[in-house]
A and B are shown apart, each in its own frame.
Chain A
């Protein structure tokens, strides 16, 4: 049996500018942070069976891999040419469709497990690129390269993506006390709204490509991402909070990004001590992130009165890894 895990991520600044429609024209730079919430993949040999067993919210027993319904599993098996019947089980710390990049984390953890099964070493870089290749080129998902890299590398990282899609990864230069302050002062709440990211991303692409003003907002989001990186590296966490607010206000200009409920949650948070915040991921639902220095108790009480649940978290420093490898 092999067990792997890959972390989920928070888009910290510049998220969305990794979408190919933007980054292939202008290139980009963004900040993303892996957290200690994971997708676990358990891979087991099935030497005594003649069919694949894939367990997730559904269970598939399939003889021929081309009949597998789970698109990522099927694509990964084909990509790495897995012929023997094996069992794949997945467990997630957080529900899918909540903006934390779980789809890509699933694929990254799966690829890691499959490579381990094949007794192949794979670098984080190659792991991320294989996941990108499968999701963007093969499955034609309207996504960028943020989630796969965050999941494979872990930590709080800056991604520089050029027009050709080449990615340079560099960890943010954060002091220990900045990191601690961030962990203490950032709070996450579930909006309870689950949505398909692809729909919102497609809408964002449509708006930006047809409206020059909207494309301008994409440039601004990219610049805000750089400001966020600078604030964090200089240890100015309060500024980080203020920039989050600007980031969200800018991103909200794209339709379907927010809703009247989400706006209400956000306003409540700001009235109760949050300096800034944003929806994590593509938008439309999922988790809200807030930065709050004083009055965290007041913020928690106000938000929980609205029926939202908090997700306690710390940052992940390890990225995708093998937890157990037996033969």
Chain B
């Protein structure tokens, strides 16, 4: 009874998989990886359904990239992204909207938080055109602060595609397909970052030291590991 609809919807998704710009996704990942290496912040935001994607993305950038669900311990020297989601703080958000209007909702918060080299990550189906003036204001603030702009968008990508350092546009003019596929992209990006960060960390002092301690069967190195973490943090 629903078969026709289901098939058609899924065919739409298959079309997206076929046509999406893979090089752009790769660029998006590189920018995030650089930010992690340099200890920069990633500040996400979105409106409506995109707000929950921004929120979910932030959680994964903060935790999953260094601690997939199979690991049960906090390892103090493993650090994820310094990730913050602006729409997760209703008090702050509504304060700015109440006093300065919808367009300033995110730019106001960024004014306090955003520093040179940080990244803002925007999720917006229409790329800030029409209703999402707060996304455009946020990008203006990012440009002022020499921060990178990343975007997940749909339709023609709007202002977001125009202004971002990297913007992945879901190639289908459909809001549910776009929002759904943002979830796919978000998880894929996080999984790749997990791989990159794990590989990169093999060359860290702590990991190399653990190798050496195994090689010589030396338990005293464990004390050193704590000292390095304290010294370099």
Contacts and interface: CB of A to CB of B under 8 A. Distances in A.
B220 interface: yes
Interface stretch (A46-54, A135-143, A242-250): A242-250
A276 B204 CA distance: 15
Contacts of A241: 232
Given A275-B231, A276-B231, A242 B218 contact: no
Interface residue SS majority, chain A? helix
Contacts of B209: 246
Interface in B211-230: 212, 215-218, 220-221, 223-224, 227-228, 230
Interface string A223-239: 11001000000000011
B17 interface: no
A70 interface: no
A37 B223 CA distance: 36
Contacts of B204: 239
Nearest to A269: B231
Contact of B208 (A217, A227, A238, A249): A227
Contacts of B215: 223
Contact of B227 (A217, A219, A245, A253): A245
Nearest to A277: B231
Nearest to A215: B216
A245 B220 CA distance: 14
Nearest to B223: A249
Nearest to B208: A227
B100 interface: no
A242 B212 CA distance: 15
B216 A219 contact: yes
A270 interface: yes
Contact of B205 (A220, A246, A274): A246
A69 interface: no
B220 A242 contact: no
Residue of B205, B217, B223 with most partner-chain A CB within 10 A: B205
A253 B220 contact: yes
Contacts of A276: 228, 231
A242 B232 contact: yes
A303 to B, nearest CB: 16
A115 interface: no
Interface string B45-59: 000000000000000
B205 A243 contact: yes
Contacts of B230: 270
Contact of B228 (A216, A242, A274): A242
Interface of B: 204-205, 208-209, 212, 215-218, 220-221, 223-224, 227-228, 230-232
A245 B218 contact: no
Nearest to A245: B231
24 contacts: A216-B216, A216-B217, A219-B216, A220-B212, A220-B221, A223-B212, A223-B215, A227-B208, A238-B232, A239-B204, A239-B205, A242-B205, A242-B228, A243-B205, A245-B227, A245-B228, A245-B231, A246-B228, A249-B224, A270-B230, A270-B231, A274-B231, A275-B231, A276-B228
Contacts of B232: 238, 241-242, 275
Residue of A220, A250, A270 with most partner-chain B CB within 10 A: A220
Nearest to A239: B205
A242 B231 contact: yes
A253 B205 CA distance: 20
Interface in A189-219: 216-217, 219
B11 to A, nearest CB: 49
10 closest Cβ pairs, A-B complex: A242-B205, A249-B224, A216-B216, A223-B212, A242-B228, A270-B231, A245-B231, A246-B224, A242-B232, A275-B232
Nearest to B206: A242
A161 to B, nearest CB: 20
Interface string A86-97: 000000000000
A217 B224 CA distance: 13
A40 B77 CA distance: 48
A246 B215 CA distance: 16
Contacts of A219: 216
A219 B217 CA distance: 12
A223 B215 CA distance: 10
A216 B218 contact: yes
Residue of A219, A242, A275 with most partner-chain B CB within 10 A: A242
A247 B27 CA distance: 39
Contacts of A224: 212
Contacts of A239: 204-205
Nearest to A238: B232
Contact of B218 (A220, A227, A243): A220
A167 to B, nearest CB: 25
A217 B213 CA distance: 10
A276 B232 CA distance: 8
Contacts of A216: 216-218
Contacts of A250: 224
